[in-house]
Amino acid sequence: MASDHDKHDDHGHGLAHVASSKTLLGTWITLMFLTVITVTATRIDLGPSYNLALAMAIAVVKATLVLLFFMHLRYDKLFHSVLVAGGILAAALFVGFALMDSSQYQQTIIWDPSHPPLPPFGPIPVP
Amino acid sequence: MSQAQHDAHDGHGDHGSPFIQHHFDDGQHQFDTGKLGIWFFLVQEILFFSALFVAYILYRNHHPEIFAYAHHYLDVKWGAINTAVLIVSSLTAAWSVRAAQLNQQKLLVGLLAATIACAFGFLGIKYVEYTHKIHEGILFGNRFDPCVSSGGEALPNKKNHCHGVKSSVVWDAKTKAAAKGCLEGDFDQDPAMARIQASCEVAEVTFQGTGAKRVEQSRRSIVACDTTPLEGKTGWAARRPRAASSASPCWELINNPWVCPKGPAAMVYYGDHAARGHQIEIEVANCKAAPKPTEPTDVFGDVVRPGGPGQATYVRHEPVSKHELALEVSNGPPPPHTNMFFSIYFAMTGLHGLHVLMGIFVYIWLLIRATKGQFGPAYFGPVDYAALYWHLVDLIWIFLFPLLYLIH
């Protein structure tokens, strides 16, 4: 990809790298292809967690492609990639810390006194 | 930023664009500054959306059965088309940056217009989806009052059911809905309460049914009841719970009104016959709500017993996984709190749709500027920044689509 961009549009004196038409079209076709794959994969039963893992893996690949090529991160200043990585890290920390004690939550919120809340997840007390 | 301003301070030499503001050293300085700004904005957008993903992950972890059930309400077809529409618009957006950089003015205008068209296409499809959900009562919070189960079977809801003592229910097989009338009891969102609706005196049953060869139509009073217990999934049904007494027929509506099986739309046992037909009218009177089950059970049918102050003990009946149970119920009534799925669904897709809408405004602004030829190799920052924003919107959808539509 690097060689192809060298011989194409970017001669080093634009304001920014110009994405080659080959890169844009290639990214687009890959994204469309992965969309078909992810929809098709839902019909195959791998067990709920593996189906979820596969769908998320495909989504991560798609997101990476968008970031690298459509959003130019591959050719852009490293600092912008650092920003994105930092943002994702911060989001992961936020999600992780927010969910850390979630096994202690009540399964349901009381909104009908005749339906008492269920106990939290965790080891089931033996009577 | 205006031409006049630039003319007045034309001290920057040959930067090629009147839109280079004089507090920047040059066009490169302005471009890099803007780009840094948009990246900071996008990073906080990731954090913004991550709060909604927390809600999603938390609720899906605690209530997988709700997600396994409720995603059937969503149409994968529309979700997949919208994904494709957004990816196409991402291509046109990315290409519009290239067109501006290479000074391809006509192509730039065309690509910006195409991006706007795709954005409208996306919102148009969302409109179709939202309208359908509003019509069917598949909404958030206490607005969740669906007409059908996620498997497409008719459910009683507030549109075809009224509170208080009712007189009759007409079940229409063609529309798969209670055509008129109502039943005793508040089904609301809790199927556990619907197991036994009410005990009622049945005054009269009218049915029109199709037998093997002839259409039967009759109207008769009930004088006796079949005491054979009905199986759970027979559609509307009534049976007499107590010893038959022709003097005072008191019937109990049992069935699960949440499940109307394919085939006969309704089944009523009376005398020693089982009447089934496409339209059955059950007239009931003097209904009393049935007593609640003594042992509280959760959605999986496990008995929950108080285990001490602030504690409860589960008695597991069958070693089945939640996933299996979720699959089992997917054609039945919604599990309790299914409305939470749609609260999350509407919050996530709604916020995302709002971003698409904002993108449309930005792109219309760009289109107007592009038709005036204001962008070129020396000045294309706004096109680039808008495209970055647009890609992020696409990126969020790349995750929303499998998480909401493609639940296995």
Domain boundaries along the sequence of chain B:
3-141+338-405, 168-289
| Cross-strand pairs, B154 | B148
Residue A44: per-residue pLDDT? 84
Q: Does A59 touch chain B (CB under 8 A)?
A: yes
Residues A116, A68 share a domain:
no
Instruction: Name residues 202-231 of chain B within 8 A of A (Cβ).
Output: none
Residues A103, A92 share a domain:
yes
Longest dimension (CA), chain A: 76
Neighbours of B393 (CB within 10 A): 24
CB B112 within 8 A of CB A25: no
Residues of B in Cβ contact (< 8 Å) with A52: 407-408
Indicate the average pLDDT of chain B: 67
Residue B167: per-residue pLDDT? 30
Chain-centre distance for alpha carbon B119: 21
Residues A39, A27 share a domain:
yes
* Full-model pTM: 0.67
CB B322 within 8 A of CB B65: yes
Residues A61, A99 share a domain:
no
Interface probe, candidates A58, A104, A118, A121, chain B, greatest B C-beta count within 10 A: A118
Residues A26, A37 share a domain:
yes
Q: How far is B251 from chain A (nearest CA, A)?
A: 26
Boundary of a domain, candidates A53, A76, A99: A76
Q: Does A24 touch chain B (CB under 8 A)?
A: yes
Interface probe, candidates A39, A40, A49, A51, chain B, greatest B C-beta count within 10 A: A39
Q: Which residue of B has its CA nearest to A78?
A: B36
Residue numbers of the domain that contains A90: 79-127
Contact B54 A118 (CB under 8 A): no
Name the 3-class secondary structure at A75.
coil
ipTM of the complex: 0.82
Q: What is the mean pLDDT of residues B42-63?
A: 93
Strands (E), chain A: none
pLDDT in tens, B320-376: 444 444 444 555 667 778 888 999 999 999 999 999 999 999 999 999 999 999 999
Residue A66 has pLDDT above 80, yes or no: yes
Residue A46: per-residue pLDDT? 83
Residues A53, A85 share a domain:
no
Residue B251: per-residue pLDDT? 35
Residue A115: per-residue pLDDT? 55
What backbone torsions phi and psi does residue B255 show, to the nearest 5 degrees?
5, 170
Residues A71, A13 share a domain:
yes
Residues A8, A68 share a domain:
yes
| pLDDT higher at B147 or B320 | B147
Residues with Cβ < 8 Å from A25, sequence gap 6 or more? B91
Interface probe, candidates B43, B69, B115, chain A, greatest A C-beta count within 10 A: B43
- Cα-based angle B240, B244, B246 (whole degrees, multiple of 5): 105
Residue A113: per-residue pLDDT? 58
Residues A126, A64 share a domain:
no
* Confidence class for position B408, pLDDT limits 50, 70, 90: confident
Residues of B in Cβ contact (< 8 Å) with A123: none
* Confidence class for position B210, pLDDT limits 50, 70, 90: very low
The number of distinct structural domains making up chain A is 2
Residues of A in Cβ contact (< 8 Å) with B62: 102, 105, 107, 121
Residue A110 has pLDDT above 60, yes or no: no
Owner of token pair 């709920």: A48
Q: Which residue of A has its CA nearest to B75?
A: A39
Neighbours of A27 (CB within 10 A): 21
Which of B152-166, B198-212, B345-359 has the least mean pLDDT?
B198-212
Residues A25, A55 share a domain:
yes
Residue B192: per-residue pLDDT? 33
* Class of CATH domain B3-141+338-405: mainly alpha
Residues A83, A32 share a domain:
no
